[in-house]
C-alpha cells in the first residue's frame, strides 16, 4: 500500500472537519438561571457584618454542595480563581517581602496573586512526569524569607502533594493548591485541591465545568475560611462588627459570586464526575493510538491518582526520530491537528524579567522590606525551559466535545506523520 503524501507536502489533510465546541451547559442550567432571574435576587451579599455577609441562598447552597462533594469542611465561592488565589495568599498571613515558591509552568495568576500582597514569587523548577513543581527544586529554593508554596495541579493531574506537604511542615510553610485545571482529580484517596491548607478551583468558561467566570476556595481550617470570607467581601468594614482582632491583610475586595452563577454552579457540579470521567476515557483512547510512536511520551498518571485531562500533554524526544519538534508540529498542523508546542514560562514574562510590577520603580523587589535577591534569569528552571523550547506538545481536551471517531481521527493524523518520519528527516538534511 502506498502511503498518502503528508499534507505538509500537498497531500490530503487527515482532519477536514470542525469538532463540536465543548459545552457542559444544558437545560438544567437554563431552568436554574431562569428561576433566579424571575425571583429578582441576583446577588444578596452585603459588605457589612450582617446575615447577608455570607451571600444569598444559591451561593450558600452551592458552597454546601461543593464542600460535600469534595469532602472538605469549608467552600468559599469567589468570582474567579484569580480572586480566590489573591484571597488565599492574604488569608495565610503573608507579609510584604515574604517569598512564596511557585511554578513557572502555570497560568500567570498563580504568581501575580503573590505580588498583589507585595510578596515575592520565587520560581522553582518542575518535574517532567506531571509538569508540576519538583519537590527537590522547591527545597533548593527555600530561604529564610520563604513563607509559603503555591502549587499548581497542572493540566489535570495533582502535584507530588505528600512530599510537598512534608517539606512545608518541616520548614513551617503554608501551601496553597491552584486546582484550576484539576477539578475532581484524585490524589491518593483525596481530591486534588483538598490536600493543601487552601485549594482554589476555577469556574471560568474554559474549564471542565463553568459558571462563565467564577471560582471556589476550599479549606479544612475554620480560621482560614473566615479570613477568605472576609477578604472576599470588604474585610476592613466587617472586622469590627464581627469582632475580628487580627487585622493583618484585612484589606477587602469584592470577590463575590452572584446568585446566577451559583445557580449554574449547583447544576454544573452534578455533572462534574461524568464530564471528567469522559475526558479520561477519551484520553485513554488517544493513548491507544499514540503509545509506541517513536520519541513520543503519552501523559503519565501516577499510582493511586487520576488525571482529568484539562490538557493532554505530550513529550517528544527528537533524538529518537532525528526530526526536530518544530517540523513535527508543522506536519501535524498541516494534517488539521490543533496541537500546541508551548505552555507558559512565567519567569520569561516582561514583568519578571524587568522586575516592574507595582508602579515603575521595581516595587516590591526594590523595597527596603525585601531582604532577598530573587533571580528571574534564563536558566533558573532548566527543565521547564527545555520542555518549552524543545520537547513539549499538547492538545486541549476541554475545547471540543470529541466523539470516539474524532479521537480516532486525531490518532490517525499522528500515525500518518510518524509513518513518514523519514521524509521529514530528509527535509531536515536538505536544509
Ligand atoms: C492554573 C490556573 N490558575 C489560575 C487560573 C485563573 O483562573 P480564572 O480565570 O478563574 O481566574 C487559570 C485559568 O485558566 C489556570 O489554568
Per-residue pLDDT of 353-368, as tens digits, reads 999 999 999 999 999 9
CA–CA dist 255, 203 (Å, integer):
13
Q: Output the pLDDT for position 346.
A: 98
229 and 165 inside one domain: yes
For residue 106 and ligand 1, the question of a CB distance below 6 A is answered with yes
229 and 300 inside one domain: no
Question: What's 291's domain CATH number?
Answer: 3.90.1150.10
Those residues with Cβ within 8 angstroms of residue 353's Cβ, 6 or more apart along the chain or in another chain = 347, 376
CA–CA dist 271, 307 (Å, integer):
17
| Angle ∠(158,163,169) on CA atoms, nearest 5 | 120
Q: Which residue has cell 465546541?
A: 21
Ligand 1 nearest-atom number relative to CA 109: 4
Distance 206 CA to ligand 1 centre (A): 9
Q: Helix-strand-coil percent breakdown of the chain, rounded to 5?
A: 40, 15, 45
Distance 294 CA to ligand 1 centre (A): 33
Whether the Cβ atoms of residue 364 and residue 44 lie closer than 8 Å to each other? no
254 and 296 inside one domain: no
Q: What is the four-CA torsion angle of 20, 272, 346, 124, rounded to 10 degrees?
A: -140
CA–CA dist 133, 138 (Å, integer):
7
- To test the ligand 1 pocket, which listed residue (82, 208, 309) has its Cβ within 8 A of the most ligand atoms? 82
* Residue numbers of the domain that contains 140: 27-269
Ligand 1 nearest-atom number relative to CA 202: 10
142 and 276 inside one domain: no
Domain total of the chain: 2
pTM over 0.85? The answer is yes
Ligand 1 nearest-atom number relative to CA 206: 14
Q: Output the pLDDT for position 160.
A: 98
For residue 178 and ligand 1, the question of a CB distance below 6 A is answered with yes
Q: What is the DSSP string of 272-323?
A: HHHHHHHHHHHHHHHHHHHTT-TTEEPPP--TTB----SEEEEEE-GGGTS-
240 and 130 inside one domain: yes
CA–CA dist 119, 418 (Å, integer):
47
- Decide if 242 is inside a domain: yes
Protein residue whose Cα sits closest to atom 8 of ligand 1: 81
Is the peptide bond preceding residue 364 cis, with omega within 30 degrees of 0? yes
148 and 276 inside one domain: no
Distance 388 CA to ligand 1 centre (A): 20
Distance 178 CA to ligand 1 centre (A): 8
42 and 182 inside one domain: yes
| C-alpha cell of residue 102 | 511557585
For residue 107 and ligand 1, the question of a CB distance below 6 A is answered with yes
CA–CA dist 316, 330 (Å, integer):
14
- To test the ligand 1 pocket, which listed residue (87, 105, 198, 202) has its Cβ within 8 A of the most ligand atoms? 202
pLDDT tens for the 431 residues of the chain, in order: 467 899 999 999 999 999 999 999 999 999 999 999 999 999 999 999 999 999 999 999 999 999 999 999 999 999 999 999 999 999 999 999 999 999 999 999 999 999 999 999 999 999 999 999 999 999 999 999 999 999 999 999 999 999 999 999 999 999 999 999 999 999 999 999 999 999 999 999 999 999 999 999 999 999 999 999 999 999 999 999 999 999 999 999 999 999 999 999 999 999 999 999 999 999 999 999 999 999 999 999 999 999 999 999 999 999 999 999 999 999 999 999 999 999 999 999 999 999 999 999 999 999 999 999 999 999 999 999 999 999 999 999 999 999 999 999 999 999 999 999 988 887 766 65
Of 269, 293, 313, which one is at a domain's C-terminal end? Answer: 269
For residue 110 and ligand 1, the question of a CB distance below 6 A is answered with yes
230 and 313 inside one domain: no
- Decide if 288 is inside a domain: yes
Distance 180 CA to ligand 1 centre (A): 5
Q: What is the four-CA torsion angle of 397, 197, 351, 205, rounded to 10 degrees?
A: 30
CA–CA dist 202, 205 (Å, integer):
9
Q: Output the pLDDT for position 423.
A: 87
Question: What's 153's domain CATH number?
Answer: 3.40.640.10
Whether the Cβ atoms of residue 315 and residue 408 lie closer than 8 Å to each other? no
Distance 400 CA to ligand 1 centre (A): 19
CA–CA dist 277, 154 (Å, integer):
17
Distance 142 CA to ligand 1 centre (A): 25
282 and 265 inside one domain: no
415 and 331 inside one domain: yes
Of 219, 246, 269, which one is at a domain's C-terminal end? Answer: 269
- Decide if 361 is inside a domain: no
- To test the ligand 1 pocket, which listed residue (77, 102, 106, 107) has its Cβ within 8 A of the most ligand atoms? 107
Q: Output the pLDDT for position 3.
A: 73
77 and 139 inside one domain: yes
Ligand 1 nearest-atom number relative to CA 83: 11
Protein residue whose Cα sits closest to atom 7 of ligand 1: 81
Q: Output the pLDDT for position 429.
A: 61
- Decide if 300 is inside a domain: yes
Distance 82 CA to ligand 1 centre (A): 6
Ligand 1 nearest-atom number relative to CA 203: 10
- Decide if 86 is inside a domain: yes
Distance 381 CA to ligand 1 centre (A): 21
275-331 pLDDT, tens digit each: 999 999 999 999 999 999 999 999 999 999 999 999 999 999 999 999 999 999 999
- Decide if 379 is inside a domain: no
CA–CA dist 407, 286 (Å, integer):
6
| C-alpha cell of residue 53 | 455577609
For residue 77 and ligand 1, the question of a CB distance below 6 A is answered with no
Distance 72 CA to ligand 1 centre (A): 21
Crossing angle between the packed helical segments 325-334 and 421-430, to the nearest 10 degrees:
120
H helices present in 98-158, as ranges = 109-116, 135-140
List the one residue out of 330, 285, 333, 277 whose CA is nearest residue 307. 277
Distance 210 CA to ligand 1 centre (A): 12
CA Rg value for the chain: 23
126 and 198 inside one domain: yes
For residue 261 and ligand 1, the question of a CB distance below 6 A is answered with no
Q: Output the pLDDT for position 427.
A: 74
Whether the Cβ atoms of residue 193 and residue 70 lie closer than 8 Å to each other? yes
Q: Output the pLDDT for position 1.
A: 46
Ligand 1 nearest-atom number relative to CA 106: 1
| C-alpha cell of residue 337 | 491537528
Of 248, 269, 290, which one is at a domain's C-terminal end? Answer: 269
Distance 90 CA to ligand 1 centre (A): 18
Half-sphere exposure of 208 (CA within 13 A, CB side): 27
- Decide if 364 is inside a domain: no
- Decide if 115 is inside a domain: yes
| C-alpha cell of residue 146 | 520563604
Amino acid at each position: 500500500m502506498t502511503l498518502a503524501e503528508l499534507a505538509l507536502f500537498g497531500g490530503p489533510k487527515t482532519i477536514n472537519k470542525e469538532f463540536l465546541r465543548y459545552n457542559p451547559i444544558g437545560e438544567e442550567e437554563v431552568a436554574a438561571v431562569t428561576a433566579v432571574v424571575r425571583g429578582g435576587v441576583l446577588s444578596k451579599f452585603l459588605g457589612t457584618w450582617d446575615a447577608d455577609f455570607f451571600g444569598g441562598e444559591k451561593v450558600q447552597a452551592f458552597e454546601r454542595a461543593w464542600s460535600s462533594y469534595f469532602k472538605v469542611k469549608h467552600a468559599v465561592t469567589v468570582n474567579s480563581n484569580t480572586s480566590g488565589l489573591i484571597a488565599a495568599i492574604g488569608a495565610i498571613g503573608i507579609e510584604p517581602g515574604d517569598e512564596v515558591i511557585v511554578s513557572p509552568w502555570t497560568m500567570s495568576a498563580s504568581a501575580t496573586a503573590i505580588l498583589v500582597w507585595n510578596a515575592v514569587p520565587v520560581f522553582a523548577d518542575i518535574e517532567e512526569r506531571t509538569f508540576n513543581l519538583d519537590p527537590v527544586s522547591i527545597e533548593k529554593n527555600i530561604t529564610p524569607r520563604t513563607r509559603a508554596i503555591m502549587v499548581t495541579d497542572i493540566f489535570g493531574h495533582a502535584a507530588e502533594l505528600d512530599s510537598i506537604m512534608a517539606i512545608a511542615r518541616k520548614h513551617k510553610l503554608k501551601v496553597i493548591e491552584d486546582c484550576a485545571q484539576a477539578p475532581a482529580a484524585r490524589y491518593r484517596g483525596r481530591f486534588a485541591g483538598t490536600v493543601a491548607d487552601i485549594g482554589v478551583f476555577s469556574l471560568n468558561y474554559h474549564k471542565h465545568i463553568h459558571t462563565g467566570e467564577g471560582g471556589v476556595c476550599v479549606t479544612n481550617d475554620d480560621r482560614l475560611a473566615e479570613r477568605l470570607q472576609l477578604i472576599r467581601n470588604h474585610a476592613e468594614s466587617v472586622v469590627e462588627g464581627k469582632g475580628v482582632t487580627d487585622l493583618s491583610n484585612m484589606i477587602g475586595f469584592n470577590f463575590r459570586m452572584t446568585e446566577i452563577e451559583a445557580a449554574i454552579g449547583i447544576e454544573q457540579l452534578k455533572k462534574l464526575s461524568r464530564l471528567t470521567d469522559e475526558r479520561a476515557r477519551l484520553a485513554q483512547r488517544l493513548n491507544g493510538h499514540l503509545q509506541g510512536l517513536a520519541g513520543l511520551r503519552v501523559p503519565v498518571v501516577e499510582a493511586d491518582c487520576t488525571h482529568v485531562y484539562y490538557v493532554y500533554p505530550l513529550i517528544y524526544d527528537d533524538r529518537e526520530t532525528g526530526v526536530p519538534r518544530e517540523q513535527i508540529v508543522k506536519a501535524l498542523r498541516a494534517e488539521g491537528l490543533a496541537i500546541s508546542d508551548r505552555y507558559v514560562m512565567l519567569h520569561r514574562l516582561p514583568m519578571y524579567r524587568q522586575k516592574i510590577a507595582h508602579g515603575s520603580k521595581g516595587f516590591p523587589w526594590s523595597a527596603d522590606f525585601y531582604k532577598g535577591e530573587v533571580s528571574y534569569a534564563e536558566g533558573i528552571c532548566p527543565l521547564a525551559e527545555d520542555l518549552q523550547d524543545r520537547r513539549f506538545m499538547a492538545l486541549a481536551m476541554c475545547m471540543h466535545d470529541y466523539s470516539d471517531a474524532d479521537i480516532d481521527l486525531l490518532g490517525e493524523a499522528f500515525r500518518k506523520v510518524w509513518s513518514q518520519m523519514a521524509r521529514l528527516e530528509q527535509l531536515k538534511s536538505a536544509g
